[in-house]
């Protein structure tokens, strides 16, 4: 190997050293183990300093000054934080050679770290005018989703983001980073454009492909973003494991631990308030568990209702204890609200429903407009309720209970009246902005 290096030109040695630096960074956890994750930034910094010193030694032998500036800027850009010297070197490289695609890509990444999203977009678009490459395409995909605009404009940008990520994957179907960004694009698409379950399924499929890459499987963003999707699906065990792994992969990133803690608090609050029937006792509780009136069912009374498509749907009222852990077709349950669950996250809105048998079940309502939640004492009817089992064992704590999931509030009947479209709002999900 030493003989091979000695036979290389200064420019070739410099490029090989820079490639080695990025290989060191990308495969660090794979080679050193998760226990050294906290040490990674310092070790990469040390390696970076060594390569910078080597570049200075090779500088006079590199005739192409644009390439030298690009290589130096790329070295300075290796860490996750913005570096002004990296921006300076890369800008100079592009001035010297406007067709240097790698300089455009790295400068775009610099601007991204700096928070100058439109400038980052211009760089990646500029790179693509010279060469169609996966780095520019996937970077453009994540940048498009961060641009501001009206809801309609952002929806269009998200659709374009998916297309760019798909193009990147098609150029190299083995690249996990491209699959990760495609997964993030589909996840954003799910929440931005109609919440079609197909998009969520495509996001999860892309994340599975990303995990096959030895580099990407150690990417904290992958596990964080997938955990957010698991949380939305109420697969809380997998969500907690994902947040926990993301935190261990990147100990300097606080958000995974914050999300993990929030979810544990949420599960604790749900089980405690459910078991305590909202902490309502005595005569007030007895009033709440009286048999509901027919009028409490609103349009669902009489054994059937007419859907938006004009189809007649049969509905049989049943108690909460008779529900099966699945979609309970042609059934409707009705009860009184005994509490809402405090949570830092607006999605979902969770309350506990109690019926005449004193069965108490939490109900998670998604896409509810701000300030439109139900109040203690309200009567709520839920048609064709989807009941699922929550079973979690995490950090020496166990939770096990059944809950009802409601994907849109407009199916609910509150105090005898069906909720209108004004009570519905689009869900907003946090998707990691580190690689997304």
> Mean pLDDT over all residues of the chain?
92
Write down the pLDDT at residue 434.
Answer: 38
Residues 196 and 216 in one domain: yes
Considering the domain boundaries, does residue 432 fall inside one? no
Q: Please give the average per-residue pLDDT across 277-287, as a whole number.
A: 92
How long, in residues, is the chain? 436
Q: Please give the average per-residue pLDDT across 385-411, as a whole number.
A: 95
103-139 pLDDT tens trace? 999 999 999 999 999 999 999 999 999 999 999 999 9
Domain final residue pick, 237, 266, 295: 266
Residues 171 and 295 in one domain: no
Write down the pLDDT at residue 366.
Answer: 86
286-305 pLDDT tens trace? 999 998 899 999 999 887 77
Domain around 305: 278-423
Q: Are strands 349-354 and 312-314 parallel, antiparallel or unpaired?
A: unpaired
Confidence grade of residue 2 (pLDDT, cut at 50, 70, 90): very low
217-227 pLDDT tens trace? 999 999 999 99
Residue 433 has pLDDT above 80, yes or no: no
Residues 231 and 308 in one domain: no
Residues 167 and 115 in one domain: yes
Return the CATH number at 100. Answer: 1.25.40.10
Beta bridge partners of residue 263, listed in sequence order: none
Residues 106 and 223 in one domain: yes
Write down the pLDDT at residue 208.
Answer: 97
The 3-state secondary structure of 365-432, one letter per residue? ECCECCCCCCCCCCEEEEECCEEEEEEEEECCEEEEEEEEEECCHHHCEECCEECCHHHECCCCCCCC
Where is pLDDT greater, at 243 or 4?
Answer: 243
Residues 196 and 103 in one domain: yes
Answering whether pTM is above 0.85, one says: yes
CA atoms of 105 and 111, how far apart (whole Å):
10
352-371 pLDDT tens trace? 999 999 999 999 998 887 77
Residues 137 and 244 in one domain: yes
Residues 304 and 404 in one domain: yes
Q: Please give the average per-residue pLDDT across 267-275, as a whole number.
A: 96
Return the CATH number at 301. Answer: 2.40.50.550
Considering the domain boundaries, does residue 271 fall inside one? no
Considering the domain boundaries, does residue 255 fall inside one? yes
CA atoms of 118 and 145, how far apart (whole Å):
11
Write down the pLDDT at residue 351.
Answer: 96
Write down the pLDDT at residue 192.
Answer: 79
Write down the pLDDT at residue 89.
Answer: 98
Residue 436 has pLDDT above 60, yes or no: no
Write down the pLDDT at residue 5.
Answer: 59
Write down the pLDDT at residue 8.
Answer: 84
Considering the domain boundaries, does residue 187 fall inside one? yes
Where is pLDDT greater, at 258 or 344?
Answer: 258
CA atoms of 256 and 262, how far apart (whole Å):
10
Domain count, the chain: 2
* 188 Cβ contact partners less than 8 Å away, ≥ 6 residues apart: 145, 158, 161, 429, 431
328-353 pLDDT tens trace? 999 999 999 999 998 877 778 999 99
Considering the domain boundaries, does residue 431 fall inside one? no
Residue 4 has pLDDT above 70, yes or no: no
Residue 71 has pLDDT above 60, yes or no: yes
Write down the pLDDT at residue 343.
Answer: 81
Write down the pLDDT at residue 198.
Answer: 87
Residues 246 and 333 in one domain: no
Considering the domain boundaries, does residue 435 fall inside one? no
Q: Please give the average per-residue pLDDT across 221-250, as a whole number.
A: 96
Query: Quick check: 222 and 207 in contact, CB under 8 A?
Result: yes
Domain final residue pick, 235, 266, 297: 266
Residues 24 and 172 in one domain: yes
155-167 pLDDT tens trace? 899 999 999 999 9
Domain final residue pick, 246, 266, 286: 266
Write down the pLDDT at residue 420.
Answer: 76
Residues 259 and 339 in one domain: no
Residues 249 and 151 in one domain: yes
Residue 6 has pLDDT above 80, yes or no: no
187-200 pLDDT tens trace? 998 877 766 778 88
Considering the domain boundaries, does residue 53 fall inside one? yes
DSSP 120-158: HHHHHHHHHHH---HHHHHHHHHHHTT----HHHHHHHH
Residue 435 has pLDDT above 50, yes or no: no
Considering the domain boundaries, does residue 132 fall inside one? yes
Write down the pLDDT at residue 392.
Answer: 98
């Amino acid at each position: 190997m030493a003989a091979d290096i000695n036979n290389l030109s200064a420019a070739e040695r410099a490029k090989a050293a820079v490639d080695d630096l990025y290989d060191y960074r990308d495969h660090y956890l794979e080679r050193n183990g998760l226990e050294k994750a906290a040490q990674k930034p310092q070790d990469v910094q040390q390696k970076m300093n060594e390569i910078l010193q080597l570049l200075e030694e090779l500088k006079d032998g590199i005739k192409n000054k644009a390439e030298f500036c690009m290589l130096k800027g790329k070295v300075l850009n290796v860490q996750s934080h913005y570096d002004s010297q990296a921006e300076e070197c890369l800008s100079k490289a592009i001035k010297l050679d406007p067709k240097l695609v790698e300089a455009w890509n790295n400068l775009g990444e610099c601007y991204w770290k700096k928070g100058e999203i439109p400038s980052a977009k211009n760089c990646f678009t500029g790179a693509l005018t010279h060469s169609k490459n996966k780095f520019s395409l996937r970077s453009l995909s994540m940048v498009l989703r961060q641009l501001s605009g009206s809801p309609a404009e952002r929806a269009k940008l998200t659709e374009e983001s998916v297309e760019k990520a798909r193009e990147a994957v098609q150029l190299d179907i083995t690249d996990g980073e491209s699959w990760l960004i495609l997964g993030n694009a589909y996840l954003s698409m799910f929440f931005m454009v109609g919440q079609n379950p197909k998009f969520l399924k495509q996001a999860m499929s892309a994340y599975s492909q990303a995990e096959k890459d030895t580099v990407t499987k150690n990417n904290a963003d992958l596990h964080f973003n997938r955990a957010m999707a698991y949380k939305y699906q109420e697969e809380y065990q997998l969500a907690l494991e994902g947040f926990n792994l993301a935190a261990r992969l990147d100990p300097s990133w606080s958000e995974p631990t914050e999300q993990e803690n929030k979810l544990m608090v949420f599960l604790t609050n749900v089980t405690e308030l459910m078991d305590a029937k909202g902490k309502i006792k005595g005569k007030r509780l007895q009033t709440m568990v009286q048999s509901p009136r027919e009028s409490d069912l609103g349009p669902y009374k009489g054994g059937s209702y007419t859907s938006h498509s004009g189809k007649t749907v049969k509905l049989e009222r049943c108690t909460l204890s008779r529900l099966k852990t699945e979609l309970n077709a042609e059934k409707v349950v009705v009860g009184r609200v005994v509490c809402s669950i405090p949570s830092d996250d607006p999605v979902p809105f969770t309350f506990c429903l109690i019926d005449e048998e004193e069965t108490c079940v939490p109900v998670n309502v998604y896409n509810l407009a701000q300030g439109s939640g139900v109040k203690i004492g309200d009567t709520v009817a839920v048609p064709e309720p989807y009941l699922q089992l929550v079973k979690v064992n995490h950090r020496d704590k166990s939770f096990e209970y059944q809950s009802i999931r409601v994907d849109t509030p407009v199916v609910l009947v509150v105090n005898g009246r069906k909720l209108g479209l004004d009570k519905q709002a689009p869900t907003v999900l946090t998707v990691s902005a580190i690689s997304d």
